[in-house]
Amino acid sequence: MNILKEIKNRKTFAIISHPDAGKTTLTEKLLLFSGAIQIAGAVKSNKIRKTAASDFQEIEKQRGISISTSVLSFKYDGYNINLLDTPGHKDFAEDTYRTLTAVDSVILVIDCVKGVEEQTEKLMNVCRMRNTPVIVFINKLDREGRNPIELLDEIEAKLEIKVQPLTYPMGIGVSFRGVYNIYENVFSFFKANKQRVEEEIERFNGVDDPKLTEWFGDDAKKLKDDIELIQGAYDHFNVSDYLNGNVAPVFFGSAINNFGIKELLNTFVKIAPQPQPRDTTSGIINPDDEHFSGFVFKIHANLDPKHRNRIAFLRVCSGKFERNKFYHHVRLNRDIKFPNPASFMAQDKTTIDEAFPGDVIGLYDAGNFKIGDTITEGEDFMYKGIPTFSPEIFKELHLEDPFKSKQLNKGIMQLTDEGLAQVFIQNNGSRKVVGTVGDLQFDVLEYRLLNEYGAQCRFRPLNYYKACWIVYENEDDIAELKRIRSHNLFFDKHNKLVFLAESQYSITSAKEKNPKAKFLFSVEHNTQTHELEVG
């Protein structure tokens, strides 16, 4: 089949938000409207609580949060859609940052009660770094929330992006009547239904249509005034401005009640970008390049705990991927064949024979992959843009049962391959320090080490401030580090030297005493490029 047609038919995006804004619920309702599922799983009552389809890990079900990125592939209106549902919790932000390297656009969910929150701002900063196109969905209109125009102003001010509302709500909370589609002059009535899709729409000839007043009385006048205010305050929506990351179209709705979702989904498939070119160590690679290439942005061990399998999630960037064909693993400099590549609907997977740019596929992995690895048809280049950041919390790993040391070593190495945490090794591996972005990751590590590897462990807090990767040309460049600060020197999983500093002062002092060495807070291991040098 024509590869250009396949590229045009694909949309690959992530849903991001602050915790509890309704991101995972929106994800599931997009599946509901696409027909990928027939009944929603996020049902809550006194007797039953079905967990959302994309939160499949046991610990996620217990805590009610998403802690890893789920890959969901489905079809809608002739398009093949790859949706990545990301963790909202700040302790797992690094997984979200990596996921954003694998998508072409983003839907940002905002709670209409709380408005723009801290994590929302951080995620938007990552999108802005790459000029990623963003659509905003303001959620929970069925609750008593903030004034919609106030929210639009706050988004522009705090997220530093122009907005253009494409729908607008009539009322909010108990007075919420529905959503008016400004560009199609269609009013969708609000009818709460958490499990199934029910449609009831009415077409009007603009906000001056007398039928609006007949239907809604004074509410129609307020809606007309609000929309006239919006049309005067905001520029006419331009798709190219959205694709360049300069303006964010805004939609309103209630995800849990399946409301405002169809307007969002219909517009998304019309305007969201198709797979885009990506930067490599050999220059820009275009999706329509005839040679296959892609990169690994996530690794998940024990996706199915019964089979102890390990899956590497690969974003196809160019050409056509084919099952049972040998491809070149650039870092290992060896060819590998993949007999069972899979597409995913959360934990449910289907073996595929081919994949095209924009697709996210799962490759069964026997330990060959690390995050950032590039696969090609033989060319030696690496995709850029998947950095490793310094952790913020450090704890030493202790095994409770010495007879389980083999299980612990295997578990911690596999789980840190996933990007859940980083491990720093000292004394030929006898001492292991684990670094994370937040405390919650240690709970997840402890839980998974015990339940998936049978290794009971505990973490002892350490007072390190930052991890600095040391770049040097010869041993003399770090003579003082090795002589005076050897107890702070570790190796990461890539066998790169790392200085674990107790304070900013210790970093400054070490830099002064070792002026020929570079101290880095962020690196891209696989491409050998360095990101953020300590100032």
Please provide the DSSP assignment of 286-322 as one string. Answer: -TT-SS-EEEEEEEEE-SSTTTT-EEEEEEEEES-EE
| Tens of pLDDT, residues 156-187 | 999 999 999 999 988 888 888 888 888 777 77
Is the pLDDT at 202 greater than 60? The verdict is yes
pLDDT at 491: 95
The answer to whether 401 touches 455, Cβ cutoff 8 Å, is yes
DSSP bridge partners of 350? 343
What's the CA gap between 417 and 173, in Å, rounded? 45
Expressed as residue numbers, the domain containing 478 is 388-533
- The single-letter code of the amino acid at 372 is G
Residue 40: its pLDDT value, please? 54
Of the residues 253, 271, 289, the one at which a domain ends: 271
Question: How is residue 393 written in tokens?
Answer: 């919390």
Closest CA to 166 of 246, 236, 258: 236
Strand, coil or helix: what is 483?
helix
Q: Is residue 528 very low, low, confident or very high in pLDDT (cuts 50, 70, 90)?
A: very low
The runs of H, that is alpha helices, within 418-503 are 440-453, 479-484
Whether the pLDDT of residue 333 is over 80: the answer is yes
Percentage of the residues of the chain whose pLDDT score is greater than 70 = 85
303 plus 204 within the same structural domain: no
Reported as a single tens digit per residue, the pLDDT across 400-414 is: 888 999 999 999 988
The model's pLDDT over 47-102, given as tens digits with 9 standing for 90+, comes to 323 445 444 455 444 544 443 447 788 899 999 999 987 765 555 566 777 888 89
Region 8-17: mean pLDDT is 93
Give the percent of the chain with pLDDT over 90.
49
422 & 318 share domain: no
Residue of 520, 521, 492, 525 lying closest to 422 (CA atoms): 492
Domain boundary among 254, 271, 288: 271
pLDDT of the residue at 69: 45
DSSP 35-98: TS-SS-S--B-SS-BPPPTT--SHHHHHHTS--S-EEEEEEETTEEEEEEE---SGGGHHHHHH
Whether residue 338 sits in one domain with residue 264: no
Q: Which of 268-277, 309-318, 418-427 has the highest mean pLDDT?
A: 268-277
Mean pLDDT of 474-497: 93
Q: pLDDT tier at 43 (50, 70, 90 boundaries)?
A: very low
Spatial CB neighbours of 343, under 8 Å, sequence gap ≥ 6? 73, 349, 350, 352, 355, 359, 360, 361, 362
Residues 56, 153: one domain? Answer: yes
Numbers of helices and strands, H then E, in the chain: 14, 33
The pLDDT score that the predictor gives to residue 68 is 44
Residues with Cβ < 8 Å from 132, sequence gap 6 or more? 100, 103, 104, 105, 106, 126, 245
Structure tokens given for 215: 């239907």
In-domain check, residue 35: yes
Give the pLDDT score at 28.
84
In a domain, 381, yes or no: no
DSSP H or E run through 249? strand 247-252
User: Do residue 247 and residue 287 come from a single domain?
Assistant: no
Chain segment 124-147, per-residue pLDDT in tens: 887 887 889 999 999 999 899 899
- Whether residue 382 is contained in a domain is answered as no
Whether the per-residue pLDDT at 327 is higher than 70: the answer is yes
398 and 304, same structural domain? Answer: no
Last residue of a domain, one of 348, 376, 404: 376
pLDDT value of position 248: 96
Q: What span, in angstroms and rounded, lies between the C-alpha atoms of 118 and 491? A: 33
Structure tokens at 15: 């849903």
The answer to whether residue 513 is domain-embedded is: yes
383 is a domain residue: no
Q: Which residue has the higher pLDDT, 149 or 417?
A: 149
Residues 328 and 371 both lie in one domain: yes
The overall average pLDDT reported for the chain is: 84
* Residue 212 falls inside a structural domain: yes
364 located within any domain: yes
pLDDT of residue 532: 44
Q: In the prediction, which pLDDT does 366 show?
A: 80
115, 65, 62, 60: which is closest to 88 by C-alpha?
A: 65
Number of domains, the chain: 3
> Residue 117 above 60 pLDDT?
yes
CATH number at residue 464: 3.30.70.3280
Q: Are residues 253 and 294 in the same domain?
A: no
Residues 217 and 112 in one domain: yes
**Cβ atoms of 271 and 324 closer than 8 Å:** no
228 and 362 co-located in one domain: no
Q: What is the DSSP string of 132-194?
A: --EEEEEE-TTS----HHHHHHHHHHHH--EEEESEEEES-GGG--EEEETTTTEEEEP---S
**Structural domain includes residue 315:** yes
Which helix (H) or strand (E) covers residue 23, if one does? Answer: helix 23-34
Task: Note whether 364 and 402 are same-domain residues.
Answer: no
Quick one: pLDDT band at residue 216, thresholds 50, 70, 90? confident
Please indicate, yes or no, whether residues 167 and 75 belong to a single structural domain of this protein: yes
Overall average pLDDT of the 19-40 stretch? 80
Q: For residue 330, give the CATH number of its domain.
A: 3.40.50.300
Q: Give the pairing of strands 348-351 and 342-345.
A: antiparallel
Q: What is the pTM of this model?
A: 0.80
Q: What is the per-residue pLDDT for 446?
A: 92
Backbone angles phi, psi at 357, to 5 degrees: -50, 135
